[in-house]
Structure 1
């Protein structure tokens, strides 16, 4: 039940993950980052999402410490980068992320991209870390259906989460249905399409009807589709606004209107054709 910012969904291994969190993609190390993480936690956020390639895990860790909340009340995610997808390399990358964050464990660790020929070794490393109790949940990011099918052919443990680009111009309905069928929780990155949807007339009309912002309508659409969402912001009023999505509900007509906006348009790389 989505009642507030601490509301969670239960992953297939029984771990509870908040429906809404703070993303910190492209937020550089420094006081702005520390303040954003601390501010989010102080305003009720319990989930923070970072990655090794973001280069800001140390600042995230500092923000967590300054917020002075019990570690077990937080849900912290990081990701292993493409250059570290061997078995031993992934184990080492995990340890380095922990060190930078200043944490004893992660709640969720993801393979960042489905690099051909490499993600299965990395997955076996994640399975080892999970079985050793060093990660509470494991998953992937940017995996399409065929990547998930290929991974699960050899995996001992099914991914608990798949974090992908997801917004009204890229609804990925087949992928969402596949993940729901296999009890893999879909999670949205770039839910606001890097701000490109905030002046959309259709969304503004829905927002006006509910007395909400376009951003709040999009985030609510995520949640009502059963998709976890992690909007990024460093501004306190935006952090608070993005979280104020539990006090209204979109109608079936609203949902159909937003779902129909899909154009299969990506602002990020195509998981089947990326080069980094």
Structure 2
């Protein structure tokens, strides 16, 4: 399965990004990353998500360089996402992005994100946070213009952060990666992304594992003879939202890829969406100035 035949979404850069990617948070041992990437490539994953914070960029890059030929693929067949560490927000952003580029050693980065709206070590309400965000973005715009970062975007921004950004940016973000699952439907953020022409991408699609035991999710899974995880991922991609399930378990990696050969009914989609209660399993960026 080549990148062109993988279900994808069109970014505002003109690039196609796969709807399904492998999240690599917590995968740190090189052999663990290698094994996960090998399985993922074999079952059709063509996007891989990492971050400086994950401390596995070098391992991911090495695994891909070694494994792409094995699977009859080239660099152009995969889509790589990585992110700016909050400690590098501001003046250090360009240097940090170039280090990620070097660590991955894949020629270019398909998508580089500002990981968090705040700056590590700076109070959430400190007025330097928006200044640092703006500086980071300006530096990433430079690297984007040079072709080193094919697309740039953000992660964990609130609607307020996004509105602020759109008033000053020269390059519109290609994507916003944010926590998204039936208990956190992010209606306002999705509306803004659509208005601005920014791709909305999900992380934590199964609610850090909690949602797979939710009674409604389990009932829907039973009725369509799928796993709860597959149902949760399908709920997102059926709305055109790209997902990044993370796992080091070969069976789960393979299972999570089987989300394009079934459809949830409108009734089941509505039942799942009705679970929305604004619940966050991950850090909340809403207090970051």
Does residue 248 in structure 1 map to residue 262 in structure 2?
yes
> How big is the shift at 1:47?
0.1
Instruction: Report the Cα distance in structure 1 between the residues aligned to 2:215 and 2:284, rounded to whole angstroms.
Output: 27
Does residue 121 in structure 1 map to residue 135 in structure 2?
yes
Residue correspondence of structure 1 range 21-170 to structure 2 within 5 A: 21-68=21-68, 69-87=73-91, 89-115=92-118, 116-117=129-130, 118-170=132-184
2:221 to 193, 207, 210: 207
Q: Contact between 1:5 and 1:18, CA under 8 Å: does it hold in 2?
A: no
Instruction: Report the Cα distance in structure 2 between the residues aligned to 1:254 and 1:177, rounded to whole angstroms.
Output: 22
> How big is the shift at 1:267?
1.1
Q: Contact between 2:117 and 2:288, CA under 8 Å: does it hold in 1?
A: no
RMSD: 1.5
Q: For structure 2, which runs of at least 5 residues remain unmatched after alignment? A: 119-128
TM-score (norm 1): 0.95
Deviations 1:87-124, CA, capped at 9 Å, x for gaps: 4x111111111111122100000000112221110001
Which contiguous aligned blocks of 4+ residues in structure 1 show a shift greater than 6 angstroms?
A: none
> How big is the shift at 1:207?
0.9
Query: Who is 1:220 aligned against?
Result: 234
**Number of positions where the alignment pairs a residue of Structure 1 with one of Structure 2:** 271
Query: Who is 1:174 aligned against?
Result: 188
Q: Contact between 1:29 and 1:55, CA under 8 Å: does it hold in 2?
A: no
> How big is the shift at 1:274?
6.2
Instruction: Report the Cα distance in structure 1 between the residues aligned to 2:134 and 2:240, rounded to whole angstroms.
Output: 27
Q: For structure 1, which runs of at least 5 residues remain unmatched after alignment? A: none
Deviations 1:192-213, CA, capped at 9 Å, x for gaps: 1111011111111111111111
> How big is the shift at 1:262?
1.0
Instruction: Report the Cα distance in structure 2 between the residues aligned to 1:29 and 1:272, rounded to whole angstroms.
Output: 33
> How big is the shift at 1:5?
7.4
Instruction: Report the Cα distance in structure 1 between the residues aligned to 2:62 and 2:42, rounded to whole angstroms.
Output: 14
Structure 1 residues 274 and 182, CA gap change in structure 2 (3 angstroms): closer
Deviations 1:221-249, CA, capped at 9 Å, x for gaps: 01112211000011111111001000111
Instruction: Report the Cα distance in structure 2 between the residues aligned to 1:274 and 1:196, rounded to whole angstroms.
Output: 26
